[in-house]
């Protein structure tokens, strides 16, 4: 059974087991793979086999089948699969399975077809709490808070006890200031049940208060979390989402702060490119007598990098040495990056060499790559090549990133022989070249006018050439006036990017160019 070219190889291999009439567990696994990969064509093949064996009306497999079609965004097929299950239940006099109903309600709600979801929900003879949660989540997703709370009141009338997911969905529906009172009522109910210390629910409460503009409400939630670890997690969540004001407000309200608390906020400032705020924070640490650790210093070095403040970076380096963290690989790599960004590649190399001398263990590949990356970025390909050689002599084989850095350096400098040699050395060291590696070699050959050799490399690659390699070859053909190879390269580019007009422009330029 052959799959279309765009189908994933994983699904292609798995579908071969269908020929052996597998059991239900195998069908379930295949359907889940198809759903994760959004491989609709493959999913339909599995479905066809199930129909042939009469398994398409199995309740468990039917539920997974509906979910698979939903993940593939094929609502019509999902509904058809559900109807077949429902028809079987009507014919046999049984009540349609609530799990399958829930899957379809959830599917319609997630796809924004809330009226269809509600129609199906209202038609259910039996509803579980999951059914109500699916509808409430759908309303919350579409910011239909009134409808979500109407359903919540119905849950109480039905005598069903809401669970944590119910509360999380309802809090998600409180996305504007007019719902702050409703959110407070949910908060009170959550607290009465003793669930307000749960990290997931506490996060949902904080998010609700933040969206509703109630800073005091958010602070009350944060203050009620006795666990310092949970508080740090909340700060980290806000910082990673870019909500630094909320992160700082939570941090400031903490009665006790560990070095981890400071580091979490500091790394948030760094991630959001606010180096100055990060450095201010480390000065506050000093005033309060908090001793920085390796992570703190790596953040400080990165902050100096963002600011390109060489003076502050050197001061940080001196303090790092005095504190004994100058052999920590993460800290030293951050220092190297700082020196590189500040234009002092020599200082970065001295830092790297100092670490090699001081470390009792072998320097890892990340540090080698960082130094090679600096050489490549600053237009020093010879130094990058020499370091690549030193790495091998030091017993470090390197990895795909190492080879990419060296090849990029060679490409930008036009070092054809060195690029070919670097690729060969990488293969000898056990590195499996990727499309990107071969594209670099093709690029450097093509730029040098060695179009025939570049084409030969592409034809003999163990992997299918990517569009980047074909574009490199096409561009070089335009420069060197090779209409034959240019036409072939353009055809490949057009096949991969049908809407790209550049190949036609380059071919036109080749045709107009005066013949030698």
DSSP-assigned states of every residue in 53-86: TT-TT-HHHHHHHHHHHHHTT-HHHHHHHHHHHH
Compute CA distances 512 → 110, 337, 484, whole Å.
Answer: 54, 47, 14
Q: Is 477 helix (H, G, I), strand (E, B) or coil?
A: helix
Give the pLDDT of residue 97. 59
Give the pLDDT of residue 75. 74
Q: Six-digit token pair at 76?
A: 């019509």
**Alpha helix positions (H), 142-257:** 145-158, 164-173, 180-192, 199-211, 215-223, 228-240, 244-252
As a whole number of angstroms, the distance between CA 497 and CA 53 comes to 41
Give the pLDDT of residue 310. 96
436-515 CATH fold: 1.25.40
Would the CA dihedral through 96, 100, 102, 108 be positive or negative? negative
Contact 172, 136 (CB under 8 A): no
Tens digit of pLDDT at every position of the chain (516 positions):
333 433 333 444 356 667 667 788 888 888 888 888 788 888 888 888 888 888 877 777 877 887 788 778 777 777 777 777 655 444 333 345 576 777 778 777 777 788 888 888 888 877 888 889 989 988 988 888 899 999 999 888 888 888 899 999 999 888 788 899 999 999 999 888 888 778 888 888 888 887 888 877 877 787 777 567 778 888 887 888 788 888 898 888 887 888 999 999 999 999 999 999 999 999 999 999 999 999 999 999 999 999 999 999 999 999 999 999 998 999 999 999 999 999 999 999 999 999 988 876 678 899 999 999 999 999 999 999 999 999 988 888 889 999 999 999 999 899 999 999 999 988 888 888 998 999 999 999 999 999 999 999 988 888 888 888 888 888 888 888 888 888 888 888 888 888 777 777 777 767 665 555
Give the pLDDT of residue 221. 80
As a whole number of angstroms, the distance between CA 139 and CA 431 comes to 51
Give the pLDDT of residue 15. 63
Contact 266, 296 (CB under 8 A): yes
As a whole number of angstroms, the distance between CA 91 and CA 288 comes to 75
CA triplet 351, 356, 361: central angle to 5 degrees?
A: 140
As a whole number of angstroms, the distance between CA 316 and CA 334 comes to 11
- The closest alpha carbon to 39, from 65, 69, 76, 18, belongs to 69
- Per-position DSSP letters for 289-337, written without gaps between them: TPPP-HHHHHHHHHHHHHHT-HHHHHHHHHHHHHHT-TT-HHHHHHHHH
As a whole number of angstroms, the distance between CA 42 and CA 161 comes to 41
Local structure of residue 430 (DSSP, 8 states): T
Compute CA distances 438 → 86, 161, 492, whole Å.
Answer: 54, 60, 16
> How is the chain split into domains, by residue range?
371-433, 436-515
Contact 381, 412 (CB under 8 A): yes
Give the pLDDT of residue 382. 93
As a whole number of angstroms, the distance between CA 3 and CA 139 comes to 39
Q: Is 212 exposed, middle or buried (0-12, 13-18, 19+ CB in 10 A)?
A: buried
Give the pLDDT of residue 1. 36
């Amino acid at each position: 059974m052959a799959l279309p070219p765009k189908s994933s190889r994983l699904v292609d291999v798995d579908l071969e087991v269908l020929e052996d009439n597998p059991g239900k567990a195998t069908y379930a696994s295949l359907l889940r793979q198809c759903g994760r990969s959004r491989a609709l064509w493959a999913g339909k093949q599995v479905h066809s086999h199930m129909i042939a064996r009469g398994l398409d009306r199995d309740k468990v497999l039917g539920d997974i089948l509906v979910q698979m079609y939903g993940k593939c965004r094929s609502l019509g097929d999902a509904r058809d699969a559900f109807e077949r299950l429902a028809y079987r239940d009507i014919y046999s006099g049984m009540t349609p399975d609530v799990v399958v109903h829930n899957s379809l309600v959830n599917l319609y709600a997630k796809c924004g077809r809330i009226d269809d979801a509600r129609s199906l929900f209202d038609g259910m003879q039996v509803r579980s709490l999951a059914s109500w949660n699916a509808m409430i989540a759908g309303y919350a997703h579409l910011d239909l808070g009134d409808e979500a709370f109407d359903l919540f009141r119905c849950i109480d009338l039905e005598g069903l006890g809401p669970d944590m997911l119910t509360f999380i969905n309802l809090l998600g529906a409180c996305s504007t200031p007019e719902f702050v009172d409703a959110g407070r009522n949910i908060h009170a109910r959550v607290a009465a049940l003793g669930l307000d210390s749960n990290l997931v629910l506490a996060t949902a409460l904080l998010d609700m208060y933040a969206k509703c503009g109630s800073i005091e409400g958010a602070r009350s939630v944060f203050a009620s979390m006795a666990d310092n670890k949970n508080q740090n997690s909340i700060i980290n969540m806000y910082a990673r989402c870019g909500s630094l004001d909320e992160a700082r407000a939570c941090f400031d309200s903490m009665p006790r702060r560990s070095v981890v608390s400071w580091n979490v906020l500091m790394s948030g400032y760094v991630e959001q490119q606010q180096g100055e705020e990060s450095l201010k924070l480390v000065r506050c640490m000093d005033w309060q007598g908090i001793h920085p650790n390796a992570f703190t210093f790596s953040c400080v070095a990165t902050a100096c990098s963002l600011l390109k403040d060489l003076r502050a970076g050197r001061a940080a380096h001196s303090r790092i040495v005095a504190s004994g963290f100058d052999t920590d690989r993460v800290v030293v790599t951050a220092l190297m990056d700082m020196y590189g960004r500040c234009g002092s590649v020599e200082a970065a190399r001295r830092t790297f060499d100092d670490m090699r001398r001081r470390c009792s263990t072998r320097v890892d590949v990340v540090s080698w790559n960082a130094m090679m990356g600096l050489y490549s970025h600053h237009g020093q390909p010879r130094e990058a090549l020499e370091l690549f050689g030193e790495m091998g002599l030091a017993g470090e084989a390197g990895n795909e990133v190492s080879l990419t850095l060296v090849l990029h350096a060679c490409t930008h400098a036009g070092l054809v022989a060195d690029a070919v040699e670097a690729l060969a050395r990488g293969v000898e060291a056990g590195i499996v070249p990727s499309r990107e590696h071969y594209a670099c070699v093709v690029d450097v050959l093509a730029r040098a006018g060695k179009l025939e050799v570049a084409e030969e490399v592409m034809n003999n690659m163990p992997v299918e050439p990517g569009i980047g390699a074909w574009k490199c070859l096409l561009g070089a053909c335009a420069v060197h006036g090779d209409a034959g190879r240019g036409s072939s390269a353009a055809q490949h580019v057009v096949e991969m990017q049908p809407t790209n007009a550049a190949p036609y422009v380059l071919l036109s330029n080749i045709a107009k160019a005066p013949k030698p």
